[in-house]
Amino acid sequence: MNKPVLVSFLVSGDPNPDATLKFMKALDKYSGVIELGIPFSDPVADGPTIQAADVRALSNGFKIAKSFEVLKEFRKESDTPVILMTYYNPVFKRGIETFVMQAKEAGANGLIIVDLPLQEATEYREICKKHEMGTVFLAAPNTPEERLKISDEASTEFLYLISTFGITGARESFEQMTFDFIKRARTTCKGKICVGFGISKGSHAESLIEQGADGVIVGSAFVDIIKNYGDSEEALVKLEELAKELSEGIEKGYEKRNK
């Protein structure tokens, strides 16, 4: 990804696995990366929107193995990088190595584990390295400089910049803090940096990319559409519309940046 990209997030199994596959295919056209969430019973880093999606999936009997199956199906048609996002317990329970191997076999390019901070991630990183599985760590506006550097080095795909303090969920506008953070990360980090949490509009994407991000990660805004339109044709149309708007915003931001 040399030009900035849209990273589209979906909760696998919301509202059912077949729908997830359809949604992934629909978003694929506009996305540089697809981030596939594995539902967890206690998603403390997520806001109400994604939490509700996890509940929808789990109460439909969703199992982790299904996430892998969905990804396998998707791989038959697309090479778009897919990053699996989850919490540590599902990984720990399966065994880190088993989890990584299964994810690899299904076609995942990387993993994000939101509650596994660097200092707890030594074994996980070794296993990922051994199986050539990509890793993505997170950084927040209050992450100190030294830690930001290490997080950047530990992230093989991109570093995930959290736009603000708090949890996921679509927001109206972005604060100066987010822009300052992108600039700081831009000068500190060697790898790619993508910004997430709260992005829901083309104009958001435009301004964040203009500031120097390599990508924007959009989750709750897509999940909101699924909440409202479920497993319908309309959902597909709306998802594509939003993805299109976001990628146009990215394009504009990129042009402005290079002026």
Partner 1 sequence: MTCEGYFGEFGGQYIPEVLMPAIDELKEAYSELKDDEEFQNELSYYLKNYAGRETPLYYAENLTKKLGGAKIYLKREDLLHGGAHKTNNTIGQALLAKRMGKTRIIAETGAGQHGVGTSMAGALFGLETEIFMGRLDTERQQPNVFRMKLLGAKVTPVDTGSKVLKDAVNEAMRNWTATFENTHYLIGTVMGPHPFPTIVRDFQSVIGKEVKKQIMEQEGRLPDHLVACIGGGSNALGLFHAFIQDKDVRMVGIEAAGKGLNTSLHGASISKGKKGVLHGMLSYFLQDEDGQIEEAYSISAGLDYPGIGPEHAYLHDSGRAEYASATDDQALNAFMELTRSEGIIPALESSHAVAYAIENAGNMDKDEIMVINLSGRGDKDLNTVIDIMQKRGM
Nearer to partner 1, 90 or 230 (CB): 90
* Catalytic site includes residue 132: no
18, 28, 35, 240: the active-site residue: 35
Residues of this chain that bind partner 1 (CB under 8 A): 40-45, 47-48, 51, 55, 58, 63-64, 87-94, 114-120, 122, 137-140, 142-144, 147, 150-151, 162, 165-167
161's CB contacts (< 8 A; 6+ apart) are 138, 139, 140, 181, 182, 185, 193, 194, 195, 196, 213
Pair of tokens at residue 210? 């203009």
Nearer to partner 1, 80 or 135 (CB): 135
Q: CB 84 → partner 1: shortest distance, Å?
A: 14
Helix 220-229 to helix 233-257 angle, to the nearest 10 degrees?
160
14, 46, 152, 210: the active-site residue: 46
3-state DSSP helix/strand/coil percent for the chain, to nearest 5?
50, 15, 35
- Find out whether 216 and 183 touch, Cβ atoms under 8 Å: no
Residue 105 to residue 93: CA distance in whole angstroms? 19
- Find out whether 155 and 128 touch, Cβ atoms under 8 Å: no
Nearer to partner 1, 89 or 232 (CB): 89
* Catalytic site includes residue 35: yes
Q: CB 88 → partner 1: shortest distance, Å?
A: 5
Q: CB 254 → partner 1: shortest distance, Å?
A: 27
Q: CB 183 → partner 1: shortest distance, Å?
A: 19
**Which of the residues are catalytic?**
35, 46
